Amino acid sequence: MAKISRDVSEAIEHLKNGEIIGLPTETVYGLAGNAYDVNVVLKIFEAKKRPSFDPLIVHTDSVDKVREFVSEFPSGALEFGYQNWPGPVTLVLPKSSLIPDIVTSGLDTVAVRIPNHPMTLDVLANLDFPVAAPSANPFGYVSPTTAHHVNDSMAAIIPFILDGGPTTIGIESTIIDFSTQIPTILRLGGMSVEDIQLQTGDVRIKLHQGSNPNAPGMLDSHYAPRKPLIIGNISDMVEHHSDKKIGIISWRDRITGINPAYQFILSPTGDFMEASKNLFAVLRKLDSMDVDIIIAELLPDEFLGRAINDRLRRASQR
Ligand code: AMP
Ligand code: MG
């Protein structure tokens, strides 16, 4: 049983002792450990059963600290960092030798983020190393958005989870590669493409697809509940699967004729932020309920709707 606590100093102690712990951010909970220590990073991969070809994001609390472990900070990236950190966006930059190869799966770039959570910023400010922190879930499963989600799968493996409440954004960070001439979005996430475009002007989107990519957060099947999940028109799918016990995830509307206990509305007012905040908790909830199949509809493909749709599509892949 991991200890779930709001004690920031205890979190700092564990990290200084080379342990890995659950750490809140505004996106999802991370499984955090000293990014400079190969043995600690190995423990993270082991705990998650994460393949070694899937690189980790490195977290710290200030742009000055980022400078210590990148070999180059292109001016566009620096400006972007100052504008948007702390926040739900990760920048890929050329790495310095301080970052062990295991963190980046041998790539010569490192993914960096300053997360926007007061308790975690406090933790990071008191460390003289950055922390590597992938989502605190077994590889491929739905990411955790509460301390209890972390405990559900990591209780036997980690000593401590810092409880920072339910995460406010609820999906992972957007990843932008700034080591290329034109910034390239590698993963959709908590900062919308529209907001990024406003700041950078030119931006490419190059989401990885396929079953063996360099960036496996982008594996076709990811964020997936154990129950089969299908996406499309809810009424049609309900009719088609009338012989089964159905759970429903809708964008704004309740579906008539279905038991409300088995229906989850992401945002009745059509607020993308509210929807992203709810998404993973709803997936986990339905996964634990007595249903045979989860039926979901896509959101409008704009702002955070795009990132939510990306997660729903990957969750539906087997
Ligand atoms: P997460 O599982 O949320 O910690 O996100 C980690 C993801 O960040 C990986 O699955 C990759 O998709 C991406 N990533 C990490 N480091 C790099 C890098 N150096 N270059 C490109 N993508 C990276
Ligand atoms: Mg993850």
For the stretch 18-63, pLDDT in tens is 999 999 999 999 999 999 999 999 999 999 999 999 999 999 999 9
Query: What protein residues have CB closer than 5 angstroms to ion ligand 2?
Result: 135
Mutate to test the pocket of ligand 1, among 92, 142, 177, 208 (most ligand atoms within 8 A of CB): 92
Q: Are 150 and 30 in contact (CB under 8 A)?
A: no
**C-alpha–C-alpha distance, residues 198 and 115, integer Å:** 21
pLDDT band at 212 (very low <50, low <70, confident <90, very high): very low
Ligand 1 pocket residue status of 26, Cβ below 6 Å = no
Closest atom of ligand 1 to 143 CA is 3
Question: Would you call 9 exposed, middle or buried from its count of C-beta atoms within 10 A (0-12, 13-18, 19+)?
Answer: exposed
What would the pLDDT profile of 284-301 be if each residue is shown by its tens digit?
999 999 999 999 999 999
pTM, full prediction:
0.96
As a whole number, the mean pLDDT across the chain is 95
> Could you give all domains of the chain from N- to C-terminal order, each with its CATH number?
3-205 (3.90.870.10), 229-315 (3.40.50.11030)
**C-alpha–C-alpha distance, residues 279 and 24, integer Å:** 17
> pLDDT at position 213, please?
47
Closest atom of ligand 1 to 217 CA is 10
Measured in whole angstroms, how far is the alpha carbon of residue 60 from the centre of its chain?
16
The residue type of 62 is S
> pLDDT at position 218, please?
58
Q: Is the pLDDT of residue 215 over 70?
A: no
Closest atom of ligand 1 to 110 CA is 19
